[in-house]
A and B are shown apart, each in its own frame.
Chain A
């Protein structure tokens, strides 16, 4: 495909055995294409991130992997199983935590763990898992009385209760406060260290960078970048934002023609220029050449989130030209 980055090809020649192989996955809901063309593979023992904005197609991708949705096209291989044909066996060996999935409000923590343990052939020791995840004192509490972080930890327990080889965790830390989030990250690393391969779906660049060995960045249903998160991080470090107000409109094309500029955005009366290098000087000079005055110029610290957005925006712009801007 046009947007296939080079490192996708490198990735396929990886020496580690792949436990998940996704090839040209395609899924549409009516006229809406949720997943256009997604290919990646996950190696045994890694934390693999599926990264993207809301609505990029991440959840649909993992729902297909989990056997919950039937793909329209492409092929899926999870532990040598077909997620549709071998659903039951797949669910024995792959633990899944999905968004918007929950428990009845008045089930006790201990009961939920015992119930879910009964679903599997070789369940883990539920008490031990609750202890590892710091929920042993909550065994008698109703699900509805748990805090957000405790609910997420319980959902990790339930995803792991069948002693899975792979755990798929979708937006696990969404809605958690920073402390609970960091705590959860530590737990996920512990789970990986115990030998479980993890597929982590997230829209948080920071989370991906902290946890993942490799990530697939998905946008508009396509993989636009694939590799270790440091690749994306490096790009983040060089990305800068300059916010200003101009005395008069300068056509975007003039700024976009500058080699340092990667994107131009309009936020109300403000103009935000995203790019790299000596961005402030270049932009102010461009206004000066056009006989305009750039007022109220501020540089904004480039957050990882911004870089992430810039990267996906760049992919949007380059979708027709082909190739990921690096």
Chain B
């Protein structure tokens, strides 16, 4: 088996390129997830950014504005829409339609299609988050991530978490209906812990502690910290490696509230609001 495989490597790279191109075209022609995942967060950003009171630093949110604290939540929303809803739903409909079965009779395994789907959804996530940053910075004085490396790392880990959940659903959902029911059931609690129904900072003790460990809560905390100029690992000496648990714990801007670290809040607000 080894010799023919080695001989066909270039053709396989071409196959992956073609698959990604095909998936891009499919997503463009049926933009059921593309539109909400790329359009909705930017729309919400514009709405919140246009309400003056929401862009003012607020004591409720530890001295930063609602707008600032909601931006990472919108980014988590993007990842949830793409990783949790779009990816498994698309794979399940390919399974239901027999597309995976068709492909598994060719030299290129059906898993390559999964890879192309992941790549396309990650591309959309990057585009959508770049739009949030671009529109936020251009129109509403949103500070670009000060700790850009930490921001990218936080984003990568958040992608891994959301897409990981999505791939688990895709692994056993026989149809998009099944996939959407599972993803829908997970969506609301995960959205809650990302701060979608109210910034995580206002949640009392127990809920706040759960949020730290929930995938979306951890993602929010890491993104919020790195956006606001506080590196997720920088403020705790004990954290040497930027793992997710570490990112989740370090930004005490999150649930620990303002009292423990007022300077961080002030620093953030000065960076992020007008």
Contact of A115 with B22 in the complex, beta carbons under 8 Å: yes
A-B contacts, 9 listed (Cβ < 8 Å): A85-B1, A88-B5, A89-B1, A91-B107, A106-B26, A107-B22, A116-B106, A118-B11, A162-B106
A172 nearest CB across to chain B (Å)? 14
A104 and B99: CB pair below 8 A?
A: yes
Q: Is B241 interfacial (CB-CB < 8 Å)?
A: no
- Give Cα A68–Cα B102 distance, bound, in whole angstroms: 11
Cβ of B97 under 8 Å from chain A: yes
Is A213 close to B, CB under 8 A?
A: no
Interface size of B in residues (CB-CB distance below 8 Å): 27
B101 touches which one: A86, A91, A101, A114 (CB < 8 A)? A101
* Distance between B35 CB and nearest chain A CB, rounded to angstroms: 15
Tell me, in angstroms, the Cα distance from A248 to B129 when the chains sit together: 82
Docked CA distance A162–B103 (Å): 13
CB-CB nearest in chain B for A120:
B107
Q: Is A289 an interface residue (CB 8 A)?
A: no
Point out which of B1, B30, B105, B107 has the most chain A C-beta atoms below 10 A from its C-beta.
B105
Query: Which residue in chain A gives the minimum CB-CB distance to B12?
Result: A119
Does B25 touch A at the CB level, under 8 Å? yes
Contact residues, A117-153 vs B (CB, 8 A): 118-121
A86 to B17, CA, bound (A): 24
Smallest CB separation, B48 vs chain A (Å): 35
Residues of A within 8 A of B26 (CB): 104, 106-107
Residue of A nearest to B18 (CB): A118
Residues of B within 8 A of A105 (CB): 97
Asked whether A286 is an interface residue with its Cβ less than 8 Å from the other chain, the reply is no
In whole angstroms, what is the CA distance A39 to B108 when docked?
A: 29
Q: Which of B7-51 contact A (CB under 8 A)?
A: 7-8, 11, 14-15, 17-19, 22, 25-26, 29-30
- Are B108 and A68 closer than 8 Å at their CB atoms? no
Residues of B within 8 A of A162 (CB): 106-107
Chain A contact residue count (CB 8 A cutoff): 30
Contacts of A111 in B (CB 8 A): 22, 25
What residues of A have a CB within 8 angstroms of the CB of B102 in the complex? 98, 101-103, 158
Chain A contacts of B97 at CB under 8 A? 102-105
Assuming the A-B contacts A88-B1, A101-B98, A106-B29, are A120 and B22 also in contact, with contact meaning beta carbons closer than 8 angstroms in the complex?
no
Q: Are B107 and A115 in contact (CB under 8 A)?
A: no
> Which residue of B has the minimal Cβ distance to A123?
B11
Contact B105 A115 (CB under 8 A): no
Q: Are B14 and A121 closer than 8 Å at their CB atoms? A: no
Residues on B with beta carbons closer than 8 Å to the beta carbon of A120: 11, 106-107
Which residues of chain A from 39 to 96 have a CB within 8 Å of any chain B CB?
66, 68, 85-86, 88-89, 91-92, 95-96
Are A114 and B18 in touch, CB under 8 angstroms? Answer: yes
Q: Which residues of A are interface residues toward B (Cβ below 8 A)?
A: 66, 68, 85-86, 88-89, 91-92, 95-98, 100-107, 111, 114-116, 118-121, 158, 162
B interface majority secondary structure: helix
Chain A residue nearest in CB terms to B90: A104
Q: A96-B105, A119-B106 are in contact. Are A102 and B30 (CB under 8 A)?
A: no
- Cβ of B270 < 8 Å from any Cβ of A? no
Contact of A119 with B108 in the complex, beta carbons under 8 Å: yes
Q: Is the CB of B107 within 8 A of A104?
A: no
Q: What CA separation (Å) do A101 and B98 show in the bound complex?
A: 4
User: How far is it, in angstroms, between the C-alpha of A88 and the C-alpha of B4 when the chains are bound?
Assistant: 9
Judge if B187 is at the interface, Cβ distance under 8 Å: no
Residues on the A chain within 8 Å of B8, using CB: 92, 121
Task: Report Cα–Cα, A116/B97, bound state, in Å.
Answer: 17
A119–B103 Cα distance when bound, in Å, is 9
Q: Are B4 and A115 neighbours in the complex by a CB distance under 8 Å?
A: no
Q: Provide the bound-state CA to CA distance between A268 and B97, in Å.
A: 39
Complex Cα distance, B4 from A265, in Å, reads: 56
Give B150 Cβ to nearest chain A Cβ, in Å. 38
A residues in contact with B18, CB < 8 Å: 114-115, 118
Q: Find chain A residues with CB under 8 A from B4 CB.
A: 88-89, 92, 121
Chain B, residue nearest A168 (CB): B105
Q: Knowing that A98-B105, A119-B108 touch, tell me 15 more A-B residue pairs with CB under 8 angstroms.
A: A66-B105, A68-B105, A85-B1, A88-B5, A92-B8, A92-B107, A101-B98, A102-B98, A103-B97, A111-B25, A114-B18, A115-B19, A115-B22, A116-B106, A119-B106
Q: Chain B residue with minimal CB distance to A117?
A: B18
Tell whether B213 is near chain A: CB-to-CB under 8 Å.
no
Q: Which residue of A lies closest to B106 (CB)?
A: A119
The docked-state distance in angstroms from the alpha carbon of A106 to that of B97 is: 12
Q: Which chain B residue has the least Cβ–Cβ distance from A111? A: B22
B251 shortest CB reach to chain A, Å: 42
Cβ-based interface call for B53 (8 A): no
Q: How far is the CA of A115 from the CA of B112 in the complex (A)?
A: 12
Instruction: Give, as a whole number of angstroms, the nearest-CB distance from A137 to chain B.
Output: 21
Would you call A68 and B104 a contact (CB within 8 A)? yes
Most buried by A among B1, B14, B94, B106: B106
| Complexed CA–CA distance, A252 and B22 (Å) | 62
> Which residues from B are CB-within-8-Å of A96?
105
The complex places the Cα of A231 from the Cα of B195 at a distance, in Å, of 74
User: Closest CB-CB distance, B147 to chain A, in whole Å?
Assistant: 41
Give Cα A97 to B94, complex, Å: 17
Q: List the A residue with the shortest CB-CB distance to B100.
A: A101
Among the listed A89, A100, A104, A106, which residue makes an inter-chain contact with B94, where contact means beta carbons less than 8 Å apart? A104
- State how many angstroms separate the Cβ of B23 from the closest Cβ of chain A: 9
Report the Cα distance A104→B17, complex, angstroms.
Answer: 17
Tell me the smallest distance from the CB of B175 to a CB of chain A, in Å.
13
Which chain A residues border B101 with CB–CB below 8 Å?
68, 98, 100-101
